[in-house]
Amino acid sequence: MKILVTGAAGFIGSHTAERFAGLGHEVIGVDNFSPYYSLDLKNLNAKSLSEKDIKIVKKDLRDENLSTELPKDINYIFHFAAQPGISKTSTFEDYLTNNVIATKN
């Protein structure tokens, strides 16, 4: 099976991707590497996933052309990408586009 995991560099996404890869499935992970959480940790997660033959795509789900960069024959999508809240450096607009518009795409 071919599985797409969004938010793959995050805690839940990375563990989900690892689990499915461990079960023998082909896994593609997508993450925009937003700096809301530690980029060092996200990069470490992505490196670990890559070492387990999980393809990591560094793209923003808000990109309407994203589907042209992904395989067409994906069987399942596990959507964990999200901005968890609003901080001093982000706005409600960021929250809205990351959590609603990105999901729509």
pLDDT tens-place string over residues 37-52: 788 999 999 999 999 9
| Assigned token pair, 71 | 């395989």
Q: State pTM to two decimals.
A: 0.86
Q: Mark 9-45 as b/e (b = at least 16 C-beta within 10 Å).
A: bbeebbebbbebbeeeebbbbbbbbbebeeeeebeeb
pLDDT tens-place string over residues 56-100: 999 999 888 888 889 999 999 999 998 877 677 777 887 777 778
CATH of the domain at 11: 3.40.50.720
> What is the pLDDT at residue 10?
93
Residue 25: give the domain boundaries.
2-104
pLDDT tens-place string over residues 25-41: 999 999 999 877 788 99
Residue holding tokens 């959480």? 37
How many domains does the chain divide into?
1
Residue holding tokens 């499915």? 20
How many CB atoms are closer than 10 A to CB 68? Answer: 8
> What is the pLDDT at residue 80?
94
> What is the pLDDT at residue 69?
86
